Structure 1
């Protein structure tokens, strides 16, 4: 059975002294930390969590606004 193409390539590289260029590793970017001294008000937190938005539910015929 014939050797696979990958094996043939390895043999050719050994025979001809060919070396593949080494892959460069990408530098790892540091994640920017959120300012730890930042204080959010209660109203800001409620807005970010989306507590005052309308609530929709799935049903027959699409999404319906639920009664609160």
Structure 2
């Protein structure tokens, strides 16, 4: 999902039986997030989560994961 302007993107990442969330904002990538953490980060940034729309990501354009910390 992403904001209408594409500035914020939330990705669901699945590997085997594990699932987590990733936020991409410009060059910044926050990885290994829970849904609660995603909601908190977007709220703190002033992003209206109700405006997020579903998008399909080209697998060739996926970002390199980094652990949130």
For normalisation by structure 1, the TM-score amounts to 0.20
**Which of the pair has the greater relative contact order for Cα pairs under 8 Å at 6+ separation?**
2
Structure exhibiting the larger radius of gyration computed from Cα positions? 1
Higher strand share: 2
Instruction: Specify which structure has the higher proportion of helix.
Output: 1
